[in-house]
A = this chain, B = another copy of it.
Amino acid sequence: MPEPRTNERAPATAWNLLIGRPLRGSEASKQQITPVEGLSALSLDALTSVAYGPEAIIVVLAATGAQALHLVLPITLAIIALLAILVFSYRQVIDAYPGGGGAYAVSRANYGAGVSLVAGASLIVDYTLTVAVSIAAGVGALVSAFPSLASATVPICLGILAAITLLNLRGLGETARAFLLPTMVFIVGLLAIIAVGLIHPLALHAPQPGHSLLPAHPLETVSLLLVLKAFSAGCSALTGVEAIANGVPLFRQPRVVRAKRTELLLGVILGTMLLGLAVLASRWHIGPRSGQTVLSQIMAAAVGRHWAYYVVTLTITLVLALAANTSFGGLPVLASLLSRDNYLPHLFSLRGDRQVFANGILALSVLSGALLIAVGGNTNSLIPLFAIGVFTGFTLAQSGLVVHWSRERPTRWRRRAAINGFGAVVTAVSTVVFLISKFTEGAWVVVVAVPTFVLLFKRIHAYYDRVGAELGFGTRPPAPVVRRALVIVPVTSVSRLTERALSKALSLGDEVIAVTVALGGDEESNRRAAALEDAWASWDPGVPLRVLRTEYASVVQPVCAFIDDVRASQDVLVVVLIPKVIPSRARYAFLHNHLDLVLSAALRNRDDIVVARVGLALGRPVGPPRRAAPPAPSSRGPDTDPSGTNASEHAPTPAPPS
């Protein structure tokens, strides 16, 4: 028998037109990247957080009035310090886990399954929030530049989400790393604008659209709680710092060196941007404005609403969309890992035609789309949710590393453990601060979501364990048992449909019985049953016909009762072959009465019988589907038979030797 061909037919469905032809595994192999490419592939999430981090601080402070805004700079300095700790800490994660995987892998290795599930759940929440926040912030930048788009915020968000989803379903998500240009324009452009602003602003006193949202009178005194709130809000600028450590395998050899270099580069650039923006915001007393992001105000004040402003704004929207794209690289892989460990449905470990984990991509898209709709595309509603999950992951990864170092004890393990330990303590404290200060503003959603996911993982795992035991995976099942097969064919007419079904039934079974149901018990149905019996006798197909009478209107129950009777009186395998017409076009399906569907649905969940619907296709030549190049010229030629009858089934020619 020939080996299956590799140029299998790919049906050109609408779906394939949308996402492209199926790809081979080898075609989807990953290119490996350099540190600069690493910035665009893995660091956009972190770099673009300058679009919402400083804003989050200012929004919190401005709630008490203008006098609190002088705290922007010191709070930003604290955040930059935390950034430095995280960068050094994650450089050590890269050393310790060059296989990548991030918080889930680290905590799975060092803490075991339970804690790793918390990390997994936090990561799922984070990935979803990253998508929502990045897209919302990108659209926020766009709306700042073009205020007339404000009313269409949510549709624009969902449109960008749909575009990213489609790109990822096509498997083009990874090639986004080739989009080096926008990343470079973004970094260079924003640093240049900050430099102009610091040295000699061009348009400081140009009028800004929108009106100030600063309260006219101070509403509360500046408290410690306020400072903590502003700090924790600003920590959203640190999200994404972990992405490089998660993706070490993507780097070119020597991987660890290149990845650590990228992490450092990220830290320096992000720190510089945050510092510059904080200095300018403090110096110019930037407060929140309607329909204008803080970043947009700073840029407009530095260079005016000018070509440079518009270029950088559009670039920010683009790189924020690309930042959302990095989550689409992360979550489906994480979901497939969880799925292989039996913590998520196995659906998530199936690759689609384009070799991507399509179900994970779709799940992420649905979750983040729902989130965007729920908050109306407003970044500031999402920020309180954001940092909790990220910082839980930071804490777990770093404290896990402390365990790792003290277990492995390489050279200088004490110093390494100290760096990670310090990072873990700081991020743990920050996590608690977020929880307390932002609980009522939405952080409770994360506090509910993470344990819910963990519970879900555990229940799914328990279910799969139970099923595996019941199916006897890993044990040797008994030998198969052969029994007599009795085929039951429900019929309603003497026709080619019935003949086809009986041909198949006789080929399969040791005994075949045709049954027909006389419904309702009235004269009309008895008359029809008698007419069928007469036609049957005159056809004489060699199969007995049994009339099942019922006073009810359902064919299901008499057939089931008949099957039960057969099963009770004989030790046979009961097979039910239900004849069905396959219409030439799908739209004719509603014209055929769906007794076959009703019957097969009713028998669907019985595992003691075999149920098959045997079709007769209308309006087509009968036989196997036309093949581009049949391996041998067939003398039976079912495709070219001008009579339209099924030569291969009816012809009395003996079968060729197999």
Q: Give the B-binding residues of A (Cβ under 8 A).
A: 1-2, 4-6, 8-10, 22-26, 345-347, 349-355, 460, 463-464, 467, 470-473, 476-485, 493-500, 502-509, 519-522, 538-539, 541-543, 548-554, 557-558, 560-562, 564-573, 575, 577, 581-582, 588, 590-595, 604-608, 610-619, 622-625, 627, 630-632, 634, 636, 645, 648-650, 652-656, 658
Chain B: minimal CB distance from A592 (Å): 7
Other-chain residue from B6, B551, B594, B616 in contact with A347 (beta carbon distance below 8 A): B594
Q: Name the B residues within 8 Å of A615 (CB-CB).
A: 604-607
* For the complex of A and B, 10 pairs with smallest distance between CB atoms: A25-B520, A571-B655, A24-B551, A612-B612, A8-B557, A351-B553, A477-B499, A346-B593, A607-B615, A480-B502
Contacts of A649 in B (CB 8 A): 481, 483, 608
Contact A554 B353 (CB under 8 A): yes
Q: Give the copy number.
A: 2
Q: When the two chains form their complex, are residues B561 and A8 in contact, meaning their CB atoms are under 8 A apart?
A: yes
CB of B520 within 8 A of CB of A351, answer yes
Chain B residues lying within 8 Å of A476, measured Cβ to Cβ, are 494, 538-539
On whether A656 and B570 interact (CB within 8 A), knowing A1-B565, A548-B4, the answer reads: yes
Q: For A552, give its contact among B2, B22, B588, B591 (CB under 8 Å).
A: B22
A133 to B604, CA, bound (A): 43
Question: Taking CB as reference atom, which chain B residue is nearest A4?
Answer: B561
CB of B568 within 8 A of CB of A8, answer no
Q: Is the CB of B483 within 8 A of A507?
A: yes
A561 → B minimal CB distance (Å):
4
Given A347-B594, A480-B542, A504-B573: A550 and B4 within 8 A (CB)? yes
A346 touches B575 (CB 8 A): no
CA distance A627 to B500 in the complex (A): 34
| Chain B residue contacts of A355, Cβ below 8 A | 520, 553
A564 and B507 alpha carbons, distance in the complex (Å):
19
Please name the residue on chain B nearest to A471 by beta carbon: B495
- Check if B508 sits within 8 Å of A573, measured CB to CB: yes
Task: Provide the residues of chain B in CB contact with A2, threshold 8 Å.
Answer: 565, 569
Residues in B whose Cβ lies below 8 Å from that of A606: 615, 617, 624-625
> Is A25 within 8 A of B521, CB to CB?
yes
CB closest residue in chain B, given A359: B593
Q: Which single member of B503, B539, B571 contacts A653 (CB below 8 Å)?
A: B571
In addition to A470-B619, A478-B499, 20 A-B residue pairs with Cβ atoms within 8 Å of each other are A1-B569, A8-B561, A22-B553, A22-B554, A23-B552, A26-B551, A355-B553, A463-B588, A471-B493, A473-B495, A477-B494, A478-B645, A480-B541, A564-B624, A571-B654, A572-B658, A604-B615, A607-B614, A608-B648, A608-B649
The answer to whether A624 touches B608 (Cβ under 8 A) is yes
Residues of B contacting A505 in the complex (Cβ-Cβ under 8 angstroms): 480
A519 to B26, CA, bound (A): 11
Residues B470 and A482 in contact, CB atoms below 8 Å apart: no
Set of chain B residues within 8 Å of A565, measured between Cβ atoms: 1-2, 4, 631
Q: Report the bound CA distance from A561 to B8 in whole Å.
A: 7
For A568, give its contact among B495, B590, B630 (CB under 8 Å): B630
* Contact call A561/B5, Cβ cutoff below 8 A: yes
Q: What is the chain B residue whose CB lies nearest that of A649?
A: B481
Contacts of A463 on B, CB cut-off 8 Å? 588, 591
A517 (CB) vs chain B CBs: closest residue:
B4
Measured between beta carbons, the chain B residues less than 8 angstroms from A581 are 467, 471
Kindly provide the distance from the CB of A573 to the nearest chain B CB, expressed in whole angstroms: 4
CA A604 to CA B590, docked complex, whole Å: 16
Q: How far is the CA of A485 from the CA of B505 in the complex (A)?
A: 10
Question: Chain B residues with Cβ under 8 A from A625's Cβ?
Answer: 564, 606
Q: A480-B541, A612-B610, A650-B481 are in contact. Are A467 and B552 (CB under 8 A)?
A: no
Contact A345 B504 (CB under 8 A): no
Which residue in B350, B354, B573 is a CB contact (below 8 Å) of A507?
B573
Contacting residues, chain B, for A504 (C-beta < 8 A): 573, 610
Chain A to chain B contacts (Cβ below 8 Å), 22 pairs:
A4-B562, A8-B558, A8-B561, A22-B557, A25-B552, A26-B551, A347-B590, A351-B520, A354-B553, A355-B520, A470-B619, A471-B495, A480-B502, A480-B541, A484-B507, A485-B508, A568-B630, A569-B631, A571-B636, A582-B607, A607-B616, A611-B613
Bound state CA distance, A346 and B522, in angstroms? 19
- The one of B22, B477, B480, B630 in contact with A543, judged by C-beta atoms closer than 8 angstroms, is B480
When distances are taken between beta carbons in the complex, the residues of chain B under 8 Å from A471 are 493, 495-497, 581, 616, 618
**Cβ of A405 to closest chain B Cβ, rounded Å:** 31
Residue of B nearest to A356 (CB): B553
Specify which chain B residues have a CB less than 8 angstroms from the CB of A604 in the assembled complex: 582, 615
Contact A648 B8 (CB under 8 A): no
- Please judge, given known A-B contacts A8-B558, A557-B9, whether A353 and B607 are in contact too, CB under 8 Å: no
Q: Name A4's contact: one of B558, B573, B595, B605 (CB within 8 Å).
A: B558
Partner of A496, one of B477, B482, B519: B477
Chain B residues near A655: list those with CB within 8 A.
483-484, 570-572
Report chain B residues within 8 Å CB of A593. Answer: 345-347, 349-350
Contact B571 A648 (CB under 8 A): yes
